[in-house]
Amino acid sequence: MTAIRTDDLRKAYGDVAALAGLSLSIDSSELYGLLGPNGAGKTTAMELLTGQIVADAGSAEVLGVDPAADPLGVRERVGILPEKESPPSFSTPREYFQFVGAVRGMADDEVDERTERWAERLSFTEKLDTLSTDLSRGQQQKTMIAGAFLHEPEVVFIDEPLANLDPIVQERVKRFLTNYREAGNTVVVSTHNVDVAAELCSRVGIVNAGELVAEVEPSSLSADETLLDAFVANVDAGEEWDGDA
């Protein structure tokens, strides 16, 4: 079953084409990686799919809902972790989770139980009642990860999920994402880190200049000479991309 679909999705900012005809299909229960250099269009694609911005052309569906026509309908059913996003400065993690729970229509006791579970999972129980402005960047990232998954959505979009996390917490997050997919949910990870895509994802789409240029198995990505490296080299040389390293 297809969870996410885009067809010739286009978005420009002035003369800059952030997306230049992105077409992809992501099945339910996939941990799909959008892999590409900075400026490739990955974040723009996620913003379009979550109804934060509107495409100039093309179409998209998330769980059968058009994010352009019904952005609130999409956001009710997905989790979102934007890159470099922080919890509100005037709130503590606990207060932030209470706000997320209220928006998502969760019962208070359910929010409390999941708050404690996530705080233990990501090792920030002692920071639950600390103002966001007094948290480290890593603790803020933990808060945002927990907030994205608090209501246990069917689809989650994550931009650079392991940024600012220590190695132990990174391993816990990776294990959780794998288990979450195996439970039948869909996760889309945007990253420019080849190792993250290779280790985490069940399938990887390589994006550059706003287009999907190849889809590969994670085993095709190696630390020594990656498909991404080969693609960038081909672009620099002005050559066509054929999907082979």
Q: DSSP string of 212-226?
A: EEEEE-GGG--SSS-
Distance separating alpha carbons of residues 83 and 147, to the nearest angstrom: 14
Cβ pair 100, 112 in contact under 8 A: no
Q: Is pLDDT at 51 greater than 80 in this prediction? A: yes
Between the CA of residue 244 and those of 20, 206, 217, what are the distances in Å? 22, 12, 12
**Position 144: which residue type?**
M
Q: What is the pLDDT of residues 157-185, one digit of tens each?
A: 999 888 889 999 999 999 999 999 999 99
- Please give the average per-residue pLDDT across 136-155, as a whole number: 95
What does the pLDDT read at residue 18?
94
For residue 55, what is the DSSP state? -
3-class DSSP state of 39: coil
What does the pLDDT read at residue 244?
39
Q: What is the pLDDT of residues 108-126, one digit of tens each?
A: 999 999 999 999 999 999 9
- Please give the average per-residue pLDDT across 43-55, as a whole number: 94
The model carries a pTM of 0.88
Residue 90 in tokens: 């005037």
Residue 143 in tokens: 């808060």
Model confidence band, residue 82 (pLDDT cutoffs 50, 70, 90): confident
| Topology of domain 1-77+156-164+185-239, CATH | Rossmann fold (3.40.50)
For the chain, strand residue ranges (E) read 2-13, 16-27, 31-35, 57-62, 78-81, 155-159, 186-191, 203-208, 211-216
Distance separating alpha carbons of residues 41 and 38, to the nearest angstrom: 8
Q: Is pLDDT at 228 greater than 70 in this prediction? A: no
Between the CA of residue 172 and those of 128, 134, 165, what are the distances in Å? 19, 24, 10
Q: Is pLDDT at 226 greater than 60 in this prediction? A: no
Model confidence band, residue 239 (pLDDT cutoffs 50, 70, 90): very low
- Range list for CATH 3.40.50.300 in the chain: 1-77+156-164+185-239
What does the pLDDT read at residue 85?
80
**Position 36: which residue type?**
G
Q: What is the pLDDT of residues 189-202, one digit of tens each?
A: 999 888 889 999 99
Q: How many helices (H) and strands (E) does the chain have?
A: 8, 9
Largest CA distance in the chain: 58
Q: Is pLDDT at 238 greater than 50 in this prediction? A: no
Model confidence band, residue 38 (pLDDT cutoffs 50, 70, 90): confident
- DSSP H/E element including 46: helix 42-49
What does the pLDDT read at residue 110?
97
Cβ pair 40, 21 in contact under 8 A: no
What does the pLDDT read at residue 245?
35
Residue 7 in tokens: 């067809």
Model confidence band, residue 25 (pLDDT cutoffs 50, 70, 90): very high
- The interaxial angle of helices 108-121 and 137-149, nearest 10 deg, is 140
Cβ pair 208, 236 in contact under 8 A: no
What does the pLDDT read at residue 240?
44
What does the pLDDT read at residue 224?
41
Cβ pair 106, 150 in contact under 8 A: yes
The share of the chain scoring above pLDDT 70, in percent, equals 90
